[in-house]
Amino acid sequence: MSATETETAASSATVESAPPHLPRSGWIEHWTPENPDFWESYGKPVARRNLIFSILAEHLGFSVWLLWSVSAALLAKVGFNFTPQQLFWLVAVPNLVGSLLRLPYTFAVPKFGGRNWTVVSALLLVIPTMLFAFFVQRPDTPFWVFIAIAATAGFGGGNFASSMASINFFFPTRAKGTALGLNAAGGNAGVAVIQFFLPIIVGGAGAFGLVKASQSGIVLQRAGYLYAALAVLAAVCAYLFMNNLHAAYSKPREQMAVVKYKHTWVMAFLYIGTFGSFIGYSAAMPLLIKINFFRSPIPTASIGINFAYYAFLGALVGSIARPFGGWLADKYGGAKVTLGSFAAMIVGTLGVLLTLSKLDTVPAPDPAKIAAWTKDPSSFPGFPPAVVTAVNHNSDLFPWFLVCFLFVFAATGIGNGSAYRMIPAIWKVNAKKAGAAGSPARIAAEGKATKEASAVLGIVGAVGALGGFLIPITFSSPWIADPVAAVRSAFVIFTVFYVICLSVTWFVYLRPKSEMAAEHV
């Protein structure tokens, strides 16, 4: 190599790793995380800072998204008289809207910037929280109005897609699994937080019974006011401490090109099984416990397992497991970990189904009597022996139900992390076909692959979130009159679906001699 060539190469390397202008907030022009010198010296602290405040906004988004999952089970205590089917619709509709919003939220990041869109998406959370606070104080509100209000909670579901799309650009490939896992886990934890703290905030019992119900009754609107204020705080933090990346800019038409790729839809299908199960079970768990293990014909009398003590555990376990799934995928390959997750989900759902099959049928009182007792609680004669015996027997089985269900949640969390890690890996494999490592064609292909992978993350997240709508609706099964029987039939359907997901994962990504298996995706 000539002296001139050596000087040119050195100059190029210096420019590549030289300290760029990295503002505390606003736009960053120069961003090359794959360059080790740039990453270790300048990129890592900026990426970490953006990750922290992205997690904050996404966490609140998930809490608002699942606001109805726990409050729906408390509506009877504040004067509402909705059926179990109607309550399942209340927890399902936000998931449907959230899944649909994930596509425009994904495309908003390259268009407007990750920091700018985080500010907007956080402020949008004020709408569902304030509507919630206003209408839960009005028991005469028609059910269709509550459906419309619950739909606005879908704004929180869209936050996940934009957050993941933004963070994907900040980190190098070797760290994406862990970074995306932490980002998603911090968001997913918002479900556990709202399910744990909402009963306590509004004056109900919680914390495994350590917190007793307020004597003054349930005040649901407190939760709406609190989360509206937190949403404003998250928007301010995003404005002050996050960044937009010019490297992430692309046109929606360029992003939509990923819909023609086979792997976009294969991963979307698998993500229904992992994330769709996580969010769907999280939304339904309070009602599942209440339907199967609890009886309260009037607000002042109850027997069995109080959902407020345990409903948050599923989301908590799934959230904690998610970054572990990303770490395992970085170490062993995402496809192998995802396959193992589906196998565990099959075992877990069979355990839940076995437990539910052993429950005793609880005699139901005449609706006319319930109406009379509600009007005059002093007329309630107490629980008959047959009801007490059946509920006590079912309560004895609850620990088995909980352990099996938490096992399913852990598997969904690990599968969420590993499935999302597979996406950048798949697109990196495709980029390798462009040319030798370091060649201009290869570098261009890798840059395109990062942008496309972020678009795919959004599409996969949107389709996967549909599971959060389908699962509660399947539990409500209007074609089955008995809610308990409907729950059992739903778990049969889910088990069969997981078998299909496992088979697809093996055939597409682990089958011997397949392209993706050779690359250890």
| pLDDT given at position 19 | 53
| pLDDT given at position 147 | 94
Give the model confidence (pLDDT) of 291-313 as tens digits: 888 877 666 677 888 877 888 89
Give the model confidence (pLDDT) of 78-105 as tens digits: 878 888 788 888 888 998 898 889 888 8
| pLDDT given at position 351 | 94
| pLDDT given at position 407 | 96
Does the structure show a pLDDT above 70 at 252?
no
The DSSP call for residue 358 is T
Residue in this structure with the two tokens 């349930």, named with its chain if needed: 218
Give the model confidence (pLDDT) of 227-239 as tens digits: 999 999 999 999 9
| pTM score | 0.78
The lowest-confidence range among 9-23, 40-54, 63-77, 140-154 is: 9-23
Does the structure show a pLDDT above 50 at 218?
yes
Distance set, CA 264 to CA 7, 111, 332, 449 (Å): 44, 21, 22, 13
| pLDDT given at position 404 | 94
| pLDDT given at position 69 | 84
| pLDDT given at position 478 | 53
Query: In this structure, what token pair is assigned to residue 232?
Result: 């404003």
Give percent above pLDDT 90 in the chain.
27
- CA 59 to chain CA centroid, Å, is 10
Residue in this structure with the two tokens 């934009």, named with its chain if needed: 162
Q: What do you get for the CA distance between the two ends of the chain, in Å?
A: 38
The lowest-confidence range among 68-72, 109-113, 367-371, 430-434 is: 430-434
Q: What does the DSSP assignment read for 364-388?
A: PPPHHHHHHHHH-GGG-----HHHH
CA gyration radius for the chain?
A: 25
Query: In this structure, what token pair is assigned to residue 249?
Result: 């800019």
Does the structure show a pLDDT above 80 at 4?
no
| pLDDT given at position 14 | 41
- What mean pLDDT comes out for the span 21-49? 80
pLDDT range class, residue 209, cuts 50, 70, 90? low
Give the model confidence (pLDDT) of 178-204 as tens digits: 787 788 878 878 888 888 888 888 777
Query: In this structure, what token pair is assigned to residue 271?
Result: 């993500």
Gap between the Cα atoms of 451 and 153, Å rounded: 28
Q: For residues 335 and 505, is the Cβ–Cβ distance under 8 A?
A: yes
| pLDDT given at position 16 | 47
pLDDT range class, residue 290, cuts 50, 70, 90? confident
| pLDDT given at position 5 | 41
pLDDT range class, residue 6, cuts 50, 70, 90? very low
Does the structure show a pLDDT above 50 at 3?
no
The DSSP call for residue 35 is S
Contacts for 453 with CB less than 8 Å, ≥ 6 apart? 168, 423, 424, 426, 427
Alpha helices (H) in 125-261, listed in sequence order: 126-135, 143-152, 154-170, 173-201, 221-241, 252-256
Does the structure show a pLDDT above 60 at 13?
no
The winner for highest mean pLDDT among 8-12, 222-226, 379-383 is 222-226
The lowest-confidence range among 390-394, 399-403, 407-411 is: 390-394
Does the structure show a pLDDT above 70 at 255?
no
Query: In this structure, what token pair is assigned to residue 356?
Result: 């539910």
Does the structure show a pLDDT above 90 at 469?
no
- What mean pLDDT comes out for the span 429-433? 73
Give percent above pLDDT 70 in the chain.
87
Query: What is the three-class DSSP state of 29?
Result: coil
| pLDDT given at position 254 | 65
Q: 73 pairs with which residues across the strands?
A: none
CATH of 31-518, one of 1.20.1250.20, 1.10.3720.10, 3.20.20.80, 1.10.287.110: 1.20.1250.20
